Copies of this chain bind each other. A is one copy, B any other.
Amino acid sequence: MTSKNPTAAILIIGDEILSGRTRDANMYHLAGELTRAGIDLKEARVVSDDRAAIVEAVRALSAKYTHVFTSGGIGPTHDDITADCIAEAFGRTIDVRDDAKALLSAHYEGRGVEFNEARMRMARIPEGAVLIENPVSIAPGFSVENVHVMAGVPNIFSAMVAGLLPTLTGGKPLLSQTYRINRPESAVAQPLGTLAEKYPALSMGSYPFVQNGAYGTNIVIRGQDGALVEAAMMELAKLFPADEQG
């Protein structure tokens, strides 16, 4: 399937994902949001809290895709090194920024909490970045060039994505239709392959399942042209009529 949509990658930063302690939720969330926005998520990477690994991944993904979204490593602790790595990746300086500091200062003052040195870390922003709003816990994310840096905590990540996405140029949304066939994938594969060849502008995926001990397959047809998706779906339904499925 070819598409002229903007492309994207997500870079998830955190030892806790790679050790199996935490199951990542942000990739799945962002994937759905980008599909709806007409941005094609092309790659995802997870790396550990390691300076060299983060800098290398940021540079590689930033050069390859229209947008890079990062998740994790912008909190107050010593292992939160994402902001410094982004600055290094783009050869920019990094320091406490007045507007970010003012946001945090007002937030902590309002709660009667000390604005200590660790919390001040969260106001360190690379030179020339644009802040991303954090309506949950105030400490902002930021964008540098095509890299959008967000928190790893899922509800904060989602809130930042919701604010950021409308500001990015979306392409045509990807439409999809699903057809359920009560036969095993291997019985569907040959006719589906022939159909896929006939519609090179569409993507056809087959997803096997087992339900009540019986094999079945969901076919998902995706594309930007709704009429074309519809036409292919009609042909598929003819090949596997619902009432003839054993």
Question: Which residues of A does B touch, CB under 8 Å?
Answer: 12, 15-24, 27-35, 41-49, 53, 75-79, 116-119, 121, 153, 174, 176, 185-190, 192-193, 196-197, 203-208, 220, 222
How far, in whole Å, are A47 and B34 apart by their CA atoms in the complex?
16
- Contact (Cβ within 8 A) B31 A204: no
Known A-B contacts A43-B47, A46-B27; A189 and B22 likewise in contact (beta carbons under 8 Å): no
- Min Cβ gap A9→B in Å is 9
How far, in whole Å, are A23 and B28 apart by their CA atoms in the complex?
6
Known A-B contacts A78-B192, A207-B22; A31 and B44 likewise in contact (beta carbons under 8 Å): no
A44's partner among B34, B45, B118, B197 (CB-CB below 8 A) is B45
- Contact (Cβ within 8 A) B220 A21: yes
- Contact (Cβ within 8 A) B119 A186: yes
- Contact (Cβ within 8 A) A18 B45: no
- Min Cβ gap A241→B in Å is 20
With a cutoff of 8 Å between Cβ atoms, the chain B residues found around residue A174 in the complex are: 19
A19-B41, A75-B186, A116-B186 known; 7 other A-B pairs, CB under 8 Å? A15-B203, A17-B44, A20-B35, A43-B46, A77-B206, A119-B186, A119-B189
A16's partner among B33, B48, B197, B205 (CB-CB below 8 A) is B205
How far, in whole Å, are A53 and B123 apart by their CA atoms in the complex?
37
- Contact (Cβ within 8 A) B46 A193: no
Known A-B contacts A19-B174, A53-B43, A203-B15; A78 and B189 likewise in contact (beta carbons under 8 Å): yes
With a cutoff of 8 Å between Cβ atoms, the chain B residues found around residue A153 in the complex are: 208
A27's partner among B24, B119, B206, B220 (CB-CB below 8 A) is B24
19 A-B pairs (CB sep. < 8 Å):
A15-B203, A15-B222, A19-B31, A19-B35, A19-B174, A20-B33, A20-B35, A21-B207, A23-B28, A43-B53, A75-B185, A77-B185, A77-B188, A77-B189, A78-B189, A79-B196, A79-B204, A116-B186, A118-B189
- Contact (Cβ within 8 A) B43 A186: no
How far, in whole Å, are A220 and B17 apart by their CA atoms in the complex?
13
- Min Cβ gap A42→B in Å is 6
Report which residue of A19, A34, A77, A174 has the largest number of chain B beta carbons within 10 angstroms of its beta carbon: A77
